């Protein structure tokens, strides 16, 4: 198992090393910023979803697990001069689909290893990625088993808003997605 991870990390490294290498100081700086920004965005998102669930149940809260639902995350991007998004191989919103071969390779690495985060250089950007885990039972109200964990009202609303939804059937601790924070070089 371990050698496979090493080979995959090596092959992704090869993909990017053709560009130019990120020096270690820049790497650490972006890694630190990416972690800080994604932690704040996650806290805001969880707090908004939690408040909405309290107010009107999960069917009401469906519209709150969206980054654009909060102007605070938008300001966070503007203040830090970066673009904040989330991507997944099993995406709910079609805008959150993995883009390109590089991102697909990265996804496989995160899926098969315990890498905490990474920074890559791509098309004049430095991009920070960090896994998003199904870390709370509340996630299952909208991403769990569609027959036993998601209420029918919630499921109906999800299907209406996202007819191509792939993001159900998760269990606690599953790998759900990646934070993607893009910084212009």
Binding site for ligand HEC (CB under 6 A): 46, 49, 58, 61-62, 65-66, 86, 88, 91-93, 96, 132, 134-136, 138-139, 141-143, 167, 176-177
> How many whole angstroms separate alpha carbon 38 and alpha carbon 166?
23
The CA dihedral of 13, 106, 97, 86, to the nearest 10 degrees, is: -100
> How many whole angstroms separate alpha carbon 34 and alpha carbon 38?
6
Q: Which CB sits closer to ligand HEC, 44 or 46?
A: 46
Q: Which CB sits closer to ligand HEC, 107 or 121?
A: 107
Q: Which CB sits closer to ligand HEC, 8 or 91?
A: 91
Q: How far is the CB of 118 from ligand HEC (least distance, A)?
A: 17
Q: How far is the CB of 18 from ligand HEC (least distance, A)?
A: 29
> How many whole angstroms separate alpha carbon 92 and alpha carbon 87?
10
182, exposed or middle or buried, with CB in 10 Å at 0-12, 13-18, 19+? middle
Q: Which CB sits closer to ligand HEC, 96 or 121?
A: 96
């Amino acid at each position: 198992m371990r050698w496979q991870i090493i080979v995959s990390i090596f092959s992704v490294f090869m993909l990017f090393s053709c560009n130019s290498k990120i020096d270690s100081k820049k790497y650490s700086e972006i890694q630190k910023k990416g972690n800080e920004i994604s932690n704040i965005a996650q806290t805001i998102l969880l707090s908004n979803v939690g408040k909405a669930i309290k107010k009107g149940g999960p069917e009401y809260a469906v519209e709150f697990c969206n980054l654009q639902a909060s102007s605070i995350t938008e300001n966070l991007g503007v203040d830090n001069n970066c673009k904040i998004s989330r991507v997944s191989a099993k995406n709910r919103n079609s805008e959150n689909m993995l883009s390109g071969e590089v991102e697909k390779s990265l996804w496989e690495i995160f899926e098969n290893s315990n890498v905490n985060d990474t920074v890559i250089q791509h098309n004049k950007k430095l991009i920070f990625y960090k896994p998003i885990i199904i870390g709370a039972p509340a996630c299952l109200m909208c991403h769990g088993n569609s027959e036993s964990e998601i209420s029918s009202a919630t499921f109906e609303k999800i299907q209406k808003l996202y007819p191509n939804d792939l993001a159900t059937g998760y269990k606690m601790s599953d790998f759900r997605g990646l934070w993607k924070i893009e910084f212009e070089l």
